[in-house]
Amino acid sequence: MTTLIPILGDQLSHGLASLRGASRANSVVLMMEVAGEATAVRHHQKKIAFLFAAMRHFAGELAADGWTVDYVKLDDAGNSQSFDGEIVRAAERHKVARIVAVEAGEWRVIAAQQGWSDRVGLPCDVLADDRFLSSRSDFAAWTEGRKRIVMEDFYRQMRRQTGILMDGADPAGGRWNFDAENRKTPPRGMTYPALPQFAPDAITAQVLDTVAAHFGGHFGDLLPFTMAVTRAQALECLDDFIAHRLAQFGDFQDAMVEGEDSLFHSQLSAAMNAGLLLPREVCDAAEAAFRDGGVPINAAEGFIRQILGWREYVRGIHWIAGPDYTARNHLKATRDLPAFYWTGQTDLRCLGEAINATKRNAQAHHIQRLMVLGNFAMLIGADPVQVHEWYLAVYADAYEWVETPNVIGMSQFADGGLMGSKPYAAGGAYINRMSNHCRKCRYDVKKRTGTGACPFNSLYWDFLARHRETLKGNQRLWRMYDGWDRFDPGEQDAIRAQVAGFLASLPAGARQWAIGERAGGDRAGCDSAGGDRPA
Ligand code: FAD
Ligand code: DLZ
């Protein structure tokens, strides 16, 4: 009576629910590299390499721990290149009696999991993914009867529930939130600690060859590849962050600096979302550093809020929003995402920096994602589906459970306010305050209209004016509308003309891929609600 335990690429945790309840003697763990996933959107080359390398190392660890592991490599003969096909083949290979899986983080894959029982004619249990601090049902229960589903309220509830950063019934440090202290500008000449780097071993080197051969046409730089691909390496990264960067995380959390890709950020999201690190242990490590006196409260609280608060909150929103969330388009935005999101070739310095960091690392930090890339896409009226597909493809930490609430909700306001109470729209002044990009930019951040004016400025005002009917009832925006109304009609016309000219000059759109579409040649082997972000 063999049980088949499929483990997906973002389920690389030794304590996974399906493994916890299983016996090594009667189980076969199935892991599958399939082109269908790598091309569901054309994922960044580095993201595919990271996942395949992490999967192969994890399989090796399971085998060393006494599990029977059936690992299907991308190039293996007969690989059907889809989860469904591999489940059927493995069920036949191993004379399986039942399947036990853990629920995927994406509606598309959940639908596939729900069909496995019929496909193989065997029972298939799909267990809840309990690697989070709040379950799907707990979050849904928490939202019930609430007038507002606000991150800050949820976060306080999570602090109480978990006891993280609590002194009895009170928040450690006497306040729940120290965000007001977390918007500093880094002084000139500040230095930033280097990130740990891991030279590819023989397993990873083989993966790099596979990815180059099959997905070399995808966005992003495959090399150099220095990412952590095992739990031991991820723990090293966590220790390094706590020792060298956490203390200043809070102060400079929202800063952007030319040529500095990571600043004081943890860069732990890819490892956490693949399951190499668990959120509780990351929060505990940050709290311990605070309790030991090495890290100030604004840093520890600011960091823990990102994980215990935002990460859990966005996951909860993903599940309550349902499978049609990505189809929401509250602002009726239809413009193609400009081609430079895929090439990095733009003379807007802040966008170029963020896109090129993304290209190099499959990573960009929060303010780049929200206030540069997302803000620009929303201001120009980019189609939210295209924006969603871009984010899902290009970031190593992107899976729908975490990406869609951030993109469809927080950054594009396409959900009309389920996730945030107002759009995160900003002009050039915000980017200038939080970065040193504008100094070297060819556009003048102080100018709203005329030759060389920073496009963010006119786009910001035009966005507000364009969406007045939709947004005018929003109490948090009256000050901005007051600002618009103070412009004389001539200035308002000049802003509109400036935007029309700019939009006409944008490079033609380049929708690379749509979920569900497949191109033969690309198949391998075959074909602010919480109020703690600026606005
Ligand atoms: P740090 O700044 O060090 O933060 C610590 C941790 O907090 C992160 O590792 C992450 O686990 C968590 N976190 C912080 N903010 C969020 C958030 N808003 N949602 C979820 N977790 C959060 N994060 C992803 O993990 N995957 C995504 O696909 C993703 N897409 C995003 C898209 C947009 C438009 C925006 C605005 C944000 C997105 N984020 C996403 C959140 C955030 O930008 C990244 O988690 C962060 O940049 C990862 O870098 P880091 O590990 O250095 O984070
Ligand atoms: C993202 C991704 C990619 C590119 N490739 C694979 C793969 O070959 N095998 C696998 O098990 N998982 C992969 N993943 C992650 C899945 O897409 C992810 O598990 C689902 O989207 C659910 O979150």
pLDDT at 509: 63
Do residue 426 and residue 314 come from a single domain?
Answer: no
Do residue 346 and residue 302 come from a single domain?
Answer: no
Do residue 118 and residue 234 come from a single domain?
Answer: no
Burial 71-85 (b: 16+ CB within 10 A, else e): bbbbeeeebbbbbbb
H/E stretch holding 206 = helix 202-215
Residue found under tokens 């596979």: 210
Q: Could you give the CA distance from residue 220 to residue 212 in angstroms, rounded to a whole number?
A: 11
Do residue 115 and residue 149 come from a single domain?
Answer: no
Give the CATH number for residue 354. 1.10.579.10
Nearest to 350 by CA among 483, 441, 242, 449: 441
**What is the rounded average pLDDT of the residues 263-284?**
98
Residue that finishes a domain, picked among 327, 353, 387: 327
Burial 426-437 (b: 16+ CB within 10 A, else e): bbbebbbebbbb
| Domain membership flag for residue 284 | yes
Q: Could you give the CA distance from residue 178 to residue 158 in angstroms, rounded to a whole number?
A: 16
**What is the rounded average pLDDT of the residues 270-279?**
98
pLDDT digits (tens, 9 = 90+) for 106-141: 999 999 999 999 999 999 999 999 999 999 999 999
Task: Check: CB of residue 269 under 8 Å from CB of residue 217.
Answer: no
Q: Could you give the CA distance from residue 73 to residue 88 in angstroms, rounded to a whole number?
A: 16
How crowded is residue 450: how many other Cβ atoms within 10 Å of its Cβ? 10
Give the CATH number for residue 166. 1.25.40.80
Residue that finishes a domain, picked among 327, 359, 393: 327
pLDDT digits (tens, 9 = 90+) for 292-317: 999 999 999 999 999 999 999 999 99
Domain count, the chain: 3
Q: Could you give the CA distance from residue 494 to residue 500 in angstroms, rounded to a whole number?
A: 10
- The answer for residues whose C-beta is within 8 angstroms of residue 90's C-beta and 6 or more apart is 4, 6, 28, 30, 70, 72, 96
* Partners of 382 in beta bridges: 335
pLDDT at 296: 96
Residue that finishes a domain, picked among 107, 127, 147: 127
pLDDT digits (tens, 9 = 90+) for 11-50: 999 999 999 989 999 999 999 999 999 999 999 999 999 9
Average pLDDT, the chain: 94
pLDDT at 21: 86
Amino acid at 346: T
Do residue 199 and residue 230 come from a single domain?
Answer: yes
Do residue 208 and residue 99 come from a single domain?
Answer: no
Could you identify the atom of ligand 1 that is nearest to the CA of residue 269? 9
| Domain membership flag for residue 317 | yes
Task: Check: CB of residue 21 under 8 Å from CB of residue 102.
Answer: no
Q: DSSP states of 388-403 as a string?
A: HHHHHHH-TT--HHHH
Closest ligand to C-alpha of residue 207 is 2
Ligand 1: lining residues by beta carbon, under 6 Å: 265-269, 272-273, 303, 306-307, 310-311, 314, 365-366, 369-370, 374, 391, 395, 397-398, 402-403, 406-407, 410-411
Is residue 521 very low, low, confident or very high in pLDDT (cuts 50, 70, 90)? very low
| Domain membership flag for residue 522 | no
Do residue 219 and residue 285 come from a single domain?
Answer: yes
Is residue 434 very low, low, confident or very high in pLDDT (cuts 50, 70, 90)? very high
Give the CATH number for residue 32. 3.40.50.620
pLDDT digits (tens, 9 = 90+) for 235-263: 999 999 999 999 999 999 999 999 999 99
pLDDT at 1: 86
Is residue 181 very low, low, confident or very high in pLDDT (cuts 50, 70, 90)? confident
Cβ of 104 less than 6 Å from ligand 2: yes
Q: Could you give the CA distance from residue 477 to residue 164 in angstroms, rounded to a whole number?
A: 34
- The answer for residues whose C-beta is within 8 angstroms of residue 464's C-beta and 6 or more apart is 425, 471, 477, 480, 481, 484
| Domain membership flag for residue 216 | yes
Ligand 2: which of 51, 110, 219, 222 to mutate, most ligand atoms within 8 Å of CB? 51
pLDDT at 507: 79
pLDDT digits (tens, 9 = 90+) for 398-413: 999 999 999 999 999 9
Do residue 345 and residue 262 come from a single domain?
Answer: no
pLDDT at position 455 over 80: yes
* Partners of 169 in beta bridges: none
Nearest to 252 by CA among 436, 409, 412: 436
Q: Report helix, strand or coil for 3.
A: strand
Do residue 155 and residue 189 come from a single domain?
Answer: yes
| Domain membership flag for residue 528 | no
- The token pair that represents 481 in the structure block: 């509308």
Do residue 386 and residue 437 come from a single domain?
Answer: yes
Do residue 48 and residue 95 come from a single domain?
Answer: yes
Task: Check: CB of residue 509 under 8 Å from CB of residue 340.
Answer: no
| Domain membership flag for residue 479 | yes
Q: Report helix, strand or coil for 445.
A: coil
Q: Is 340 exposed, middle or buried, given 0-12, 13-18 or 19+ CB atoms closer than 10 A?
A: middle
pLDDT at 523: 32
Task: Check: CB of residue 365 under 8 Å from CB of residue 262.
Answer: yes
Query: What torsion, rounded to 10 degrees, do the Cα atoms 246, 248, 249, 255 define?
Result: -150
Closest ligand to C-alpha of residue 43 is 2
Q: Could you give the CA distance from residue 207 to residue 200 in angstroms, rounded to a whole number?
A: 10
| Domain membership flag for residue 534 | no
Do residue 197 and residue 284 come from a single domain?
Answer: yes
- The answer for residues whose C-beta is within 8 angstroms of residue 469's C-beta and 6 or more apart is none
Q: Is 174 exposed, middle or buried, given 0-12, 13-18 or 19+ CB atoms closer than 10 A?
A: exposed
Amino acid at 405: P
pLDDT at 18: 98
pLDDT at 147: 87
Q: Output DSSP code: residue 251.
A: T
Range of the domain at 365: 340-514
pLDDT digits (tens, 9 = 90+) for 184-198: 889 988 999 999 999
pLDDT at 231: 98
**What is the rounded average pLDDT of the residues 500-513?**
77
**What is the rounded average pLDDT of the residues 465-473?**
95
pLDDT digits (tens, 9 = 90+) for 335-379: 999 999 999 999 999 999 999 999 999 999 999 999 999 999 999
H/E stretch holding 512 = none
pLDDT at position 72 over 60: yes
Q: Could you give the CA distance from residue 200 to residue 227 in angstroms, rounded to a whole number?
A: 8
Our CA angle for 131, 46, 276, nearest 5°, is 20
Ligand 1: which of 182, 304, 306 to mutate, most ligand atoms within 8 Å of CB? 306
| Domain membership flag for residue 46 | yes
